């Protein structure tokens, strides 16, 4: 009896396996869904969001943008010149990157390349004199000097190259990874606007542009929070 039961179960198992194998062979092929994720970023280029799409197991693309508004008071001091300063930095961009994992055995390391469009990338400094100044035999009050605004701006398309640490996509629903890289930006353009006795300082613009012409690398370091869509 036991032998007959074992033979019966074996035959049924073979029939079930044969049915599933034949069904799988005849069923139309279904394309494999690619990884998709929403990425929220925080770092030196501000706060942003990216949409990520897996092209292959080792290559993915992401498109997004970020904004960085920063304001600080009295971070600059000028010797022998009493003043209040207000510094602002704005960095707004959209970007398209590709993440490539060159070594399957080192899946946590990615090479990242692409470009960003910097539609606003500037540093601004407002200088308001506060002291009393002596020039030759004259004393000049701060109200007579006026105020001065210095604006240094980078704009346009900027190539990007860097490294990504940790997996591009979550294995389950969520993960965190890092980006370390740099933009190659255009030479900055400065603008100086002064009032009253400081109005002639616009003549310093060519000298500032010359001093900053080699500042073409904009380092990027950011943390990415990834939420898998599928």
In a domain, 106, yes or no: yes
Write the pLDDT tens digit of every residue in 30-40: 444 589 999 99
Return the pLDDT at 100: 97
Return the pLDDT at 148: 94
Return the pLDDT at 78: 67
In a domain, 24, yes or no: no
Return the pLDDT at 101: 95
Domain housing 196: 35-228
In a domain, 2, yes or no: no
In a domain, 112, yes or no: yes
Distances (CA, A) of 191 to 32, 155, 201, 205: 54, 14, 10, 6
In a domain, 19, yes or no: no
Question: Which positions ≥6 away from 146 have C-beta within 8 Å?
Answer: 129, 194, 195, 196, 197, 198, 199
Return the pLDDT at 67: 96
> Residue 106 maps to which CATH number?
2.40.160.170
Return the pLDDT at 80: 66
Q: How many CB atoms lie within 10 A of CB 157?
A: 12
Six-digit token string for 139: 């004393």
Number of domains observed in the structure of the chain: 1
Return the pLDDT at 33: 57
Residues in the chain, pLDDT under 50: 1-10, 12-32
In a domain, 174, yes or no: yes
| Residue 188 main-chain phi, psi, to 5 deg | -75, 160
In a domain, 195, yes or no: yes
């Amino acid at each position: 009896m036991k032998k007959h039961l074992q033979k019966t179960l074996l035959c049924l198992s073979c029939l079930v396996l044969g049915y599933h194998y034949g069904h799988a062979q005849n069923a139309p092929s279904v394309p494999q869904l690619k990884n998709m994720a929403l990425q929220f970023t925080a770092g030196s280029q501000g706060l942003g969001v990216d949409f990520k799409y897996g092209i292959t197991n080792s290559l993915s693309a992401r498109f997004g943008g970020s904004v960085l508004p920063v304001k600080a008071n009295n971070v600059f001091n000028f010797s022998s010149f009493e003043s209040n300063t207000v510094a602002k930095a704005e960095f707004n961009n959209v970007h398209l990157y590709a993440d490539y994992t060159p070594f399957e055995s080192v899946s946590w390391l990615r090479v990242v390349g692409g470009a960003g469009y910097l539609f606003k990338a500037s540093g601004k400094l407002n200088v308001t004199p506060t002291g009393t100044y002596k020039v030759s035999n004259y004393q000049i009050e701060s109200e007579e000097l006026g105020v001065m605004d210095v604006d240094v701006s980078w704009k346009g398309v900027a190539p990007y190259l860097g490294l990504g640490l940790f997996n591009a996509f979550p294995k389950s629903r969520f993960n965190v990874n890092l980006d370390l890289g740099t933009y190659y930006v255009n030479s900055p353009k400065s603008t100086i606007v002064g009032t009253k006795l400081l109005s002639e300082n616009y003549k310093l613009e060519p000298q500032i542009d010359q001093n900053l012409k080699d500042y073409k690398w904009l380092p990027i370091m950011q943390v990415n929070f990834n939420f898998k869509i599928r």
